[in-house]
Structure 1
Amino acid sequence: MTLFRLDASIRTHGSASREIADIVEQEWRVAHSGDSVVTRHIGVDTLPSTVWAAAVTAGMTPAQEQTAEQRDAVALAATLVDELIAADAILFAVPLYNYGVSQHFKTYLDVVLADPRATGVPFLAGKPVVLATVRGGAYGPGTPREGWDHSTPYLRRVIADCWGAELTLVEREFTLVGVNPALDAFTDEAAQLHAGALQAAREAGRALGALPVPA
């Protein structure tokens, strides 16, 4: 079996979303020792900001008239979709940035959707996907930032509703407690949320690893 893992954090060390994803991956590896894990880190190895426009306009341009940039963009979109289709399970680690979707992951989604195989069809129908997402503050009901998380609902809509994947969400809040002194009053609550997220990651990884091998 193959696990495809994508990280969108701009950090390579100390990343809260990466911590969760590492646990999910480790649990999956316990059940699939020796199997393949394909990785892509778009927060570090970023996709070009112009690639989506090039891929979209390529679809409106006769093949003989496409520029080298357009052909490269189409090829990249195909590669990204190939990675998702080829995987038996998928792990996305995507933090909330500035109340919205990471620009790196939004570019990734746009480029994927530029491929005809992923346009308007649930091309990941039934495929298990774990989304590890983290938020620096608290955004739940009754909090001052309730409704300010414009990333998680969007990701649910695309991954589960548009792509048709079987989505499991593992999330952690208050990751900036201990970093931002203004949040010091929430130290105990943050510790509980952290522990809960790590446990949820272990459970999600075990569930992912327990899925039957495709025939």
Structure 2
Amino acid sequence: MATLLHIDSSVFPSTASASRSVTDAFRTAWQEQHPEGTVVYRDLSVNPVPHITADAHLAGFSDPATHTPEQAAAFAERMKLIQELEQADAVLIGAPMYNFSIPSTLKAWLDNVILMGRTAGVENPSAKGTPVTVVASRGGSYAPGTPREGMEYVQNYLAATLRDALGMDLDFIVPELTMAPQNPAMSELIPLFEASRDKAHQEAQEKAKALAARLVA
């Protein structure tokens, strides 16, 4: 049975969150395709993981036998997150754009799971090849050729960490223009937002089904 690690980071509930609605669609399709599978869920907005500390950081570069009690405790919390990642057959991440970047809670999770010599910085990092689907929702458009293309730091950053550092098999779903229904200045873009939303949900369902079928084949 395959295990899906599902991580959400939006500060909004599913009824008001573009990223959560798409990750929900992905997870539902996954479970329909693979009802006996396991889903490990982390809502980083409701239950944020600890931000990296000096003890947690330094413990990652030293022999566990030399850890202080504080380092041992901090490193144990990191290891829980790392092992969840390593044991997952697939990963799903909701990563809305806040102020041009990812939520700080998601950055904290990444800081914990990126461990040089284990998950990164080696020829065969421990989560290498694991498929990860990121729902990178954003209020405007930062697509190639748009005026704000140079301000797109979500996909660029997550490609550097998830794909380049951790060696994971990265795929994006990008619902955009999500602020159009709330911002009167963007009202003319509502049809484009609706098309992007519908495409994202369709992609989520198709990708989840294909991935579940591939992993349990």
- What are the equivalent positions in structure 2 for 1:119-198 lying under 5 Å apart? 119-121=120-122, 122-198=125-201
CA contact (8 A) 1:52 1:110 kept: no
* Deviation, structure 1 residue 101: 2.0
Report the CA distance shift for 1:176/1:64 in structure 2 as closer, same or farther (over 3 A): same
Aligned partner of 1:38 in structure 2 is 40
Q: 1:64 to 1:206 in 2, by over 3 A?
A: closer
Where structure 1 has 5 or more consecutive residues not aligned to the other structure, the ranges are: none
Match for 1:71: what amino acid?
A
What TM-score results when the alignment is normalised by the length of structure 2? 0.90
- List per-residue Cα deviations over 1:9-30 (Å, max 9, x = no partner): 1122411111111111111111
| Residue aligned with 1:74, SS | helix
Residue equivalent to 1:100: 101
Residue correspondence of structure 1 range 50-89 to structure 2 within 5 A: 51-59=52-60, 66-89=67-90
Q: 2:116 & 2:82 partners in 1: Cα distance?
A: 7
Cα RMSD for the two superposed structures: 1.9
User: What residue identity is the alignment partner of 1:4?
Assistant: L
Matched to 1:147, the amino acid is G
Distance in structure 2 (CA, Å) of the matches to 1:32 and 1:134: 26
User: In structure 2, what is the Cα distance between the partners aligned to 1:213 and 1:169?
Assistant: 22
Shift, 1:57, TM fit: 2.2
The answer to whether structure 1 residue 25 and structure 2 residue 27 are counterparts is yes
Q: Distance in 1 between matches of 2:17 and 2:152?
A: 19
Q: Give the total of aligned pairs.
A: 213
Aligned-partner Cα distance in 2 for 1:195–1:62:
50
Report SS of the residue matched to 2:215: coil
**1:174 Cα offset (Å):** 0.5
Residue type of the alignment partner of 1:132: V
Identity of aligned residues (%): 35
After TM superposition, give the deviation of residue 90 of structure 1 in Å. Answer: 1.0
CA gap 1:142/1:68 in 2 versus in 1, 3 angstroms: same
C-alpha deviation, 1:68, in angstroms: 3.8
Question: 1:172-202: CA deviations, max 9, x gaps?
Answer: 1101111111211211111111111111111
CA–CA distance in structure 1, aligned partners of residues 87 and 4 of structure 2: 9
- Following TM superposition, the consecutive aligned residue runs of length 4 or more in structure 1 with deviations greater than 2 angstroms are 51-54, 57-70, 141-144
> Per-residue deviation at 1:123?
2.2
CA contact (8 A) 2:23 2:204 kept: yes
Amino acid across the alignment from 2:23: A
